[in-house]
C-alpha cells in the first residue's frame, strides 16, 4: 500500500517528502520521538490520509467523507481532480463536503468529476452559495 501510494505521487511531491525525511533524520532523537508520538496519536484514518502526499494529506481530514467508500473506478480520477485544485479550493470543497448529507456525497463526487477542471473553482463557489 505504501509503495503504491509512493508511485502515485508526482515527482515534486516525492522530492518534498525526501526533503522532509532528510530534515527529520537530522533532528535530535528526542525531537524525532516527539514527532513520532504526535503522528501516532492521530486517528488511524488520518494517518492513512498522509499516504496521499503532502498536499492531500494535510487536507485529508476535511476531504475524508468524500473519499470514504469511493468506488475503485473513480479513485484515480478523484485523486487527480483533488490534486488539481488549489489549497483554497480544497478547503472550500471540505466545507461543501461537511454540508452535504452522507447519502448525497456520491452525487457530489459525480458532480465534481463531471465539471471540467478549468471550471471547478467557479463550480465550487456556486455550490457553496447554494
Residue 8's pLDDT is 87
- The whole-number average pLDDT for the span 13-41 is 96
Domain boundaries, the chain: 2-129
| Of residues 102, 107, 93, 105, the one with CA closest to residue 63 | 93
Read off the pLDDT of residues 37-87 as tens digits, 9 standing for 90 and up: 999 999 998 999 999 999 899 999 999 999 988 888 888 899 999 999 999
Residue 52's pLDDT is 92
Residue 73's pLDDT is 87
Cα distance between residue 115 and residue 63, in whole Å: 18
Predicted TM-score of the model (pTM): 0.83
- The whole-number average pLDDT for the span 20-24 is 96
Residue 71's pLDDT is 86
> Cell 488520518 sits at which residue?
46
What the block records as the C-alpha cell of 48 is 492513512
Amino acid at each position: 500500500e505504501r509503495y503504491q501510494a509512493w508511485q502515485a505521487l508526482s515527482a515534486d511531491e516525492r522530492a518534498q517528502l525526501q526533503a522532509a525525511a532528510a530534515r527529520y533524520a537530522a533532528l535530535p532523537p528526542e525531537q524525532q520521538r516527539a514527532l513520532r508520538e504526535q503522528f501516532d496519536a492521530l486517528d488511524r484514518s488520518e494517518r492513512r490520509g498522509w499516504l496521499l502526499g503532502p498536499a492531500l494529506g494535510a487536507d485529508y481530514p476535511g476531504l475524508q467523507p468524500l473519499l470514504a467508500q469511493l468506488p475503485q473506478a473513480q479513485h484515480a480520477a478523484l485523486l487527480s481532480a483533488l490534486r488539481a485544485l488549489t489549497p483554497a479550493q480544497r478547503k472550500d470543497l471540505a466545507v461543501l463536503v461537511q454540508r452535504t448529507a452522507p447519502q448525497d456525497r456520491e452525487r457530489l463526487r459525480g458532480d465534481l468529476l463531471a465539471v471540467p477542471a478549468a471550471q471547478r473553482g467557479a463550480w465550487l463557489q456556486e455550490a457553496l452559495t447554494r
